[in-house]
Amino acid sequence: MDSKAQASLEYLMTYGWALVLIVTVVAVLIFIVSSPSSVAFSSSDPTKILMKGGSVLGSDAEIKMQNITGGSIDVTSVSMTSNYSGAGCSLNGVVLSSPNPYPIVVSAGNELYVECSSVSGNGSGTITIDYTDHSGLQRSAGITVSVSGTPVETGPACLSGGTGTVDDPIMVTNLAELDNVRNAPAAYYEMCQNIDASATTGWNEDLPGNPGVYLGFDPVGDDIVNFTGNFDGKGFTIIALYINRPSEDYAGLFGFVDSGGEIRNVGLENINVTGDRQVGGLAGKNLGVIDRCYTTGTVSGGQYEAGGLIGIDLGTITNCYSEANVEGGASVGGLIGYDWGNVSNSYARQGSVNGIENVGGLVGHKYGAITNSYAAGSVTGTGLYVGGLLGHISTGPAITSYYPGDDILCTGCTNTSGETTQANLQSQAWLTTTPNDWDFSTIWNINEGTSYPFLR
């Protein structure tokens, strides 16, 4: 055997299995597996996975993927045969060797990110993973793996490009490309990794009047040029977005989403969004479809319509939540400031809501329909129409939607619509007993008696 072949074989036996280990540990979590050509394996219980990229550098290995099963999965144990070992391995930041790391919840549509800092092994072996699927079934899968061929270091699958059509969306891989969405507001977009937006604290200095003051990110779409495209976050997250435009309307990642616009599967964490009217963490004004999105951080409005997710809504919002702190003047809500649309299977909790009038834990001023939703955060209002769930109800039903009157602080509250108890709102049995019909098979999950419902 010549020296090059010998070196290749030694590299394969030392490091090539690392990517195999990473792929197979996560592959059992979902239903279809894509793998490098150097990997061969079989599963007693194949599951679905969308590969996002990976790499092997020395003894370090990492891989990204996404849960596309349609429901959440609770991983309850990971074990492997003796001819594989890995130190510093983690799944979504949870160190597998730490005391009691399980269950590790992988929500529908969310990223799976596995890292190992020191790996070794060779040949073939079995990895066993126990988990609970989204139907509540306890399952166990055995993965048999083997290495063949020359190991290939894979670059990130998250690459720029795309023409903006439904079949070839523009890939949003970094903050600059997120900012460029405004340049083609009718196109199709997809994220393929998390984006750190903390640099926006130094964007757009307010010159000449306020040197040293930065306006931050300029929202995508306004009342002149609306966003009418399709933005799919694919379960990824935008972190630390900063918008400081206290004299401007339509503040949010998206300023104005018109009918035909759709935003799905994206989280905004640790945001700091400030505007005057129609201010929301995700969108200032929405006439389109918002599905499976969430926000955390702070949203500050001025005169009217401030919400943790949406400032004013005239569209459709499903399977969304906000844990942001929200403050403003009139029509202030934990999820939506002013709602004319349709809201279902959504919630606001943990954050505080503070305003003057038309202040609600979920919605400040309601005209539209709200179904199977709740609020569980503190509410303070100093004027008229303040409530734990809804502030001012003009028209439209609020069907089987609640707030726990015995578990939140509601200062100035006069509207008790939707009030129930903490025990009821933490009970799957109560939430599925007529007239309630919450879906705990495909939409909601709960830790009975100890948590409020959360989305799968």
Would you state the pLDDT for residue 394? Answer: 87
Residue that has been written with the tokens 């590790």 in this structure: 104
- Domain 170-455 carries which CATH code? 2.160.20.110
The domain limits of the chain are 3-147, 170-455
Count of H-run helices and E-run strands, the chain? 5, 45
- Going along 9-150, which residue ranges are E strands? 39-43, 50-57, 60-66, 73-80, 84-87, 90-91, 94-95, 104-106, 111-116, 118-121, 125-132, 138-147
Would you state the pLDDT for residue 106? Answer: 75
Question: Mean pLDDT by 10-residue block, N- to C-terminus, for the chain (456 residues)?
Answer: 47 41 39 34 42 46 54 69 53 72 74 57 54 65 44 52 92 95 96 93 92 95 95 94 96 96 95 97 97 96 95 96 96 96 94 96 93 95 95 84 94 93 95 94 91 90
Which one, of 357, 372, 303, lies nearest residue 311 by Cα? 303
CB of 198 within 8 A of CB of 216? no
CB of 244 within 8 A of CB of 214? yes
Q: Provide the 8-state DSSP code for 198.
A: G
Number of other residues whose CB lies within 10 A of the CB of residue 411:
12
Contacts of 420 (CB under 8 A, 6+ apart): 402, 403, 404, 405
Cis peptide before 101 (omega within 30 of 0): no
Q: Which residues pair with 1 in a beta bridge?
A: none
The residue type found at 146 is S
Q: How many residues does the chain have?
A: 456
**CA gap 349, 452 in Å, rounded:** 9
Kindly give the pairing relationship between strand 125-132 and strand 138-147.
Answer: antiparallel
- What's 143-168 look like in SS3? EEEEECCCCCCCCECCCCECCCCCCC
Own/partner contacts of 174-180, CB < 8 Å, gap of 24 or more, are 175/199, 175/200, 178/238, 179/217, 179/218
Instruction: Say whether pTM exceeds 0.75.
Output: no
